[in-house]
C-alpha cells in the first residue's frame, strides 16, 4: 500500500508541474449518523493528504445539512462520506437534497463504509456517484477523488450567495482571474488568533463563534461572522489536512458562520485581505458578515506577519510554554493586542498569568478553558468592547 501511495504521489506531482490541474483536489471527508469511531476515516484522510489532496475533515456525528453547508463553503471538488450506522439510504438521500438546498447539487458524492451489496444500485440511482464498500483499497479512493478535479468557472451553477462567495475565495487563493463585479467591503471587526501549535486556538475560536451566534440570536444587528482558518501545506506533496472546522458545532450554528479552510506554506498569506473583503461584501443588513476571525497555523516565536492583515491580534498561550526569559524575547508576544492564557485549568497557570501581566503593560490578559467554555463571554466582551 505504501508503494501504491508513493506512486500516486509521484504521478500527482508530475501533473502539477505540467500545469494539468488548475487547482489542487479538495475533498470534504465526514461521517454522518451516530457512528462514534473515526480511526478508519483518519487513515483515509492521511492517505489522501499524502497523495497531494487537500482534505477538509469535518469530524464525527455530522448531519446531511451540516455536511452540505461545509461542502459549499469549502468549495470542494467532491464529498467522501463514511457510513457505519446502517442508515445510508436515508442519510445519503438527505445529503443529496441538502446539496440542492445550499446551491451545490453539482458536487459529486462518494460513499463508503458498511454498504450492503444490494443497496449500492439504490444509492447510485438516488445520485451517489460511486460507492466503496469495506475492503476497498486506499489507492482506489485516492484516484476517485483525483478524477473529480475539474476546471472552476467564475460562477457556480446556482448563483447562490454563499456558494458564489466560496468560489470567489477559491479563485483568489489560487491566484486565478476574479469576477470583476465581486463586491468587496472591509468588515467592522477583523480579529486574528495566533499562537503555538497545541495552544487550543481552534477550540477557542469555535467557542467564540458559538458565543457570537448566541448573541446574534438576541440582537440580530450583530450580524454574522466569518472564519478563515489556515493549516500547513506539505512541502513534499502539497497535500494538507484541514481539520480546524471539526471543532465547530455546525449542527446547531448552521448558516450563522461562513467557515473557510485554506492551506499555506509558512506565512504566505497572499490574498488574505481580499478574502476578508469578499466575505465582508457578500451580504448586507442583518445577513452581513461584520466580523471575520482569522486563525493562523501553529506559529513560532518569529512568525508575526498576521498583524499586518487584522485589526486585533490575539496571542494564545498555555501553561508550561516557557519561562520568563522567553517572555522577554522579541517576536510574537510583541504583536499582541490581547493575550489569552488558555487551558487555565492546567498546572503552571498562575506562573504564566504572572509572567504575562508583568510584560503586558496595558495589554489585556484573559484566562480561558476553551474545552469548557470558561472565560469565553469575558474574552468576547473584551474583544468587542
Q: What confidence category does residue 12 fall into, taking pLDDT thresholds of 50, 70 and 90?
A: very low
> For 177-211, how does the pLDDT look when each residue is reduced to its tens digit (9 = 90+)?
888 899 999 999 999 999 999 999 999 999 999 99
Please determine whether the domains at 2-147 and 189-384 fall in the same fold group of CATH.
yes
What is the predicted pLDDT for the residue at 85?
Answer: 66
Q: What confidence category does residue 36 fall into, taking pLDDT thresholds of 50, 70 and 90?
A: low
Of the listed ranges 205-214, 319-328, 358-367, the least confidently predicted one is: 319-328
Sketch the domain layout of the chain as residue ranges: 2-147, 189-384
pTM summary value:
0.91
Determine the CATH number of domain 2-147.
Answer: 3.40.50.280
What is the predicted pLDDT for the residue at 83?
Answer: 81
Asked if residue 138 lies in contact with residue 7, where contact means CB atoms within 8 angstroms, the answer is: no
What is d(CA 379, CA 213) in angstroms, rounded to the nearest whole number?
15
Asked if residue 271 lies in contact with residue 172, where contact means CB atoms within 8 angstroms, the answer is: yes
Of the listed ranges 74-78, 111-115, 322-326, 369-373, the least confidently predicted one is: 322-326
**DSSP codes joined into one string, 195-246:** ESTTS-HHHHHHHHHHHHHHHHHH-GGG-EEEEEEEEEPPTTT--EEE-GGG
> For 288-316, how does the pLDDT look when each residue is reduced to its tens digit (9 = 90+)?
999 999 999 988 777 889 999 999 999 99
Which residues does 324 contact at the CB level (< 8 Å), separation at least 6? 355, 358
What is d(CA 102, CA 162) in angstroms, rounded to the nearest whole number?
8
Alpha carbon of 175 to those of 150, 203, 351: distances in Å? Answer: 16, 30, 45
Asked if residue 160 lies in contact with residue 102, where contact means CB atoms within 8 angstroms, the answer is: yes
Q: What confidence category does residue 17 fall into, taking pLDDT thresholds of 50, 70 and 90?
A: very low
Residue 7 has pLDDT above 70, yes or no: no
Determine the CATH number of domain 189-384.
Answer: 3.40.50.300
Amino acid at each position: 500500500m505504501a508503494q501504491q501511495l508513493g506512486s500516486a504521489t509521484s504521478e500527482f506531482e508530475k501533473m502539477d508541474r505540467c500545469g494539468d490541474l488548475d487547482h489542487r483536489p479538495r475533498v470534504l471527508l465526514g461521517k454522518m449518523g451516530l457512528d462514534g469511531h473515526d480511526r478508519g476515516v483518519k487513515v483515509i484522510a492521511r492517505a489522501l493528504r499524502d497523495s497531494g489532496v487537500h482534505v477538509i475533515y469535518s469530524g464525527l456525528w455530522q448531519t446531511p445539512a451540516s455536511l452540505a453547508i461545509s461542502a459549499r463553503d469549502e468549495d470542494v471538488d467532491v464529498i467522501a462520506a463514511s457510513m457505519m450506522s446502517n442508515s445510508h439510504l436515508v442519510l445519503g438521500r438527505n445529503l443529496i437534497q441538502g446539496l440542492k438546498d445550499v446551491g451545490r447539487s453539482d458536487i459529486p458524492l462518494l460513499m463508503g463504509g458498511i454498504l450492503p451489496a444490494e443497496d449500492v444500485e439504490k444509492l447510485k440511482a438516488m445520485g451517489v456517484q460511486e460507492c466503496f464498500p469495506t475492503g476497498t483499497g486506499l489507492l482506489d479512493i485516492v484516484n476517485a477523488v483525483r478524477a473529480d478535479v475539474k476546471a472552476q468557472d467564475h460562477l457556480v451553477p446556482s448563483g447562490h450567495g454563499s456558494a458564489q462567495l466560496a468560489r470567489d475565495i477559491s479563485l483568489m487563493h489560487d491566484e486565478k482571474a476574479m469576477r470583476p463585479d465581486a463586491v468587496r467591503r472591509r468588515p467592522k471587526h477583523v480579529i486574528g488568533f495566533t499562537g503555538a501549535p497545541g495552544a487550543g486556538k481552534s477550540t477557542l475560536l469555535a467557542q467564540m463563534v458559538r458565543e457570537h451566534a448566541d448573541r446574534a440570536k438576541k440582537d440580530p444587528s450583530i450580524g454574522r461572522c466569518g472564519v478563515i482558518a489556515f493549516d500547513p501545506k506539505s512541502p513534499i506533496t502539497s497535500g494538507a489536512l484541514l481539520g480546524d472546522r471539526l471543532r465547530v458545532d455546525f449542527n446547531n450554528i448552521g448558516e450563522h458562520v461562513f467557515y473557510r479552510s485554506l492551506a499555506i506554506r509558512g506565512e504566505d498569506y497572499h490574498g488574505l485581505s481580499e478574502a476578508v473583503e469578499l466575505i465582508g461584501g457578500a451580504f448586507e443588513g442583518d445577513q452581513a458578515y461584520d466580523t471575520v476571525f482569522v486563525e493562523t497555523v501553529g506559529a513560532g516565536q518569529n512568525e508575526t506577519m498576521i498583524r499586518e492583515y487584522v485589526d486585533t491580534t490575539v496571542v494564545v498561550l498555555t501553561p508550561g510554554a516557557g519561562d520568563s526569559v522567553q517572555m522577554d524575547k522579541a517576536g510574537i508576544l510583541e504583536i499582541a493586542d490581547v493575550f489569552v492564557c488558555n487551558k487555565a485549568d492546567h498546572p503552571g497557570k498562575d506562573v504564566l498569568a504572572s509572567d504575562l501581566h508583568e510584560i503586558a503593560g496595558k495589554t489585556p490578559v484573559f484566562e480561558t478553558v476553551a474545552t469548557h467554555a470558561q472565560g469565553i463571554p469575558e474574552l468576547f466582551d473584551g474583544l468587542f468592547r
